[in-house]
Amino acid sequence: MPLTVLSDSEINAILYSLNREDVLSLQHNLADALHEYSTGTQETTGCCHSNQPQRIAIPASNNQTTLFMPASTSTSRGIKIATLTQTSGPPRNDSLPSIKSTTSQSSTTKSSTSTDSPTTPTTLASQISNTSIGASTKPDPSIASSQSTSPIGSLTLLTAAGTPYAFLAASTITGFRTALAATMIFNRRTNVHTICVFGAGLQALWHIRLALLLRGPEIHHVHIINRNFERARKLMQEIYTSPQWEHLRKSNHKLGFSIVSNEYGEYNRLLKEHVRKADAIFCCTPSTSPLFPAEYLTSTEGRKKGRYISAIGSYKHHMIELHPDILRQAVAPEHKHHHHKHAEKGGVIVVDSLEACMKEAGEVQQAGLAPEQMVEIGELLMVKKASMLEIEKGGEGEVGLKRWLQAGNVIFKCVGLGLMDICVGEDLVMLARERGFGTSVEGF
């Protein structure tokens, strides 16, 4: 069997060529694997929990951690080795002048560097050009190449008999497979008008791209919130100038983007406004402190609206994106009599792996959640079983479960499984061979 080698640029080329039907197919395969992980046995599937060893983390210098993630499906064995760097952003300074960049397909970008100076409308392309040419400012450590928080590593795939058949770069795969899992529930949501994305790296990029591929015509606002404006600007520059995003830009003339950075003043006001208005919140940062105050969502006003929240950036016990009070409220028993209208909640946090999240997820540990307060997404995908559990808790069964998933407050916590890499890697190798990507090494 030949060995297929795929570089990161080749993987990018494959992933950027995917259409909505391709994404749904990949998502279906991943959902099946996660379902088998949660419900299967060694006698029925290679994806079962028993065949997925816990990953090994080896700390290194410069805030780096190398993860070894072995995994198995019914057709493949494999291991992803990835090194991640945790960086600390610049100190927040709310005394700085405010800047908000808001764009739309047809209109303008508004940028203000001072509260006293007039706002001059310019096109996004003009602003990107003007701010990128002749720039002499030193890049923030979080965006310098040596300090990137994107994973560096490889994914090795073997047949069930142990024959190596693929060797893939792991950087882009990691961002893509996580976004693929995070958008499963997102794609079921009734309202996706406004999206709030924390972060501006690969994870944020793929969450935005998959959201637009799956529900693009319904999305009107995408707010990118990042500690460093320059990195967010680069992400928006790619979205608005790259030919790979052209069909997504042109498919929805109402689609607009904004950037909010904590380097500037007005940050707290804009942060609260965007979080409160969001239909979906994607948290994609290796943060060690909550990205926004719990009160934004736990107060009476914050609880009126149903939201889907995905937290995928933290993967160690000391890392946290969501305030523990948000998780505690999500699992707290619902009071039958209250004076205010609240969005429905399911009483559980959705996770990729119960065992992994109990061991590694900072939000879960700091909120003091018990195993029975979480449900694996693989279990949730089997609606009948999940609805039976919901009935046992006094709920409405399948009707109530669907209503919660579609319009209630749903939190998905994901620390990442090697199984996800193997499953997506298998599909990428198949697509590469079909579409002529990669290098084939005969007789390996």
Measured in whole angstroms, how far is the alpha carbon of residue 153 from the centre of its chain?
19
DSSP bridge partners of 65: 59, 84
Burial bucket for residue 265 (CB in 10 Å: 0-12, 13-18, 19+) = middle
pLDDT score of 427: 98
pLDDT in tens, the chain (444 residues): 899 999 999 999 999 999 999 999 999 999 999 999 999 888 888 899 999 998 898 988 778 889 999 999 999 999 999 998 765 544 433 333 333 344 333 333 333 333 333 333 333 433 443 333 223 333 333 323 334 567 799 999 999 999 999 999 999 999 999 999 999 999 999 999 999 999 999 999 999 999 999 999 999 999 999 988 999 999 999 999 999 999 999 998 999 999 999 887 889 999 999 999 999 999 999 999 999 999 999 999 999 999 999 999 988 888 999 999 999 999 998 765 544 556 666 789 999 999 999 999 999 999 999 999 999 999 887 665 556 565 566 666 577 788 899 999 999 999 999 999 999 999 999 999 999 999 999 988
Give the contacts of 328 (CB within 8 A, at least 6 positions apart): 367, 368, 369
pLDDT of residue 112: 32
Q: How many CB atoms lie within 10 A of CB 335?
A: 7
Angle subtended by helix axes 171-186 and 20-39, to nearest 10: 80
Residue 4 identity (one-letter amino acid): T
Identify the sign of the CA torsion 343, 347, 353, 355: positive
C-alpha pair distances (Å), 102 with each of 107, 205, 243, 257: 9, 18, 21, 6
Closest by CA position to 236, among listed 113, 394, 123: 123
C-alpha neighbours within 13 Å on the C-beta side of residue 386: 24
For 258-298, write each residue's pLDDT tens digit.
999 988 788 999 999 999 999 999 999 999 999 999 999 99
Nearest to 165 by CA among 157, 154, 155, 153: 157
pLDDT of residue 138: 35
Token pair listed for 283: 């948290």
pLDDT at 92: 39
Contact 99, 264 (CB under 8 A): yes
Report the distance separating Cα 149 and Cα 312, nearest Å: 13
Radius of gyration for the chain, computed over Cα atoms and rounded to the nearest angstrom: 22
- Torsion (CA) 280, 284, 286, 289 in degrees, nearest 10: -20
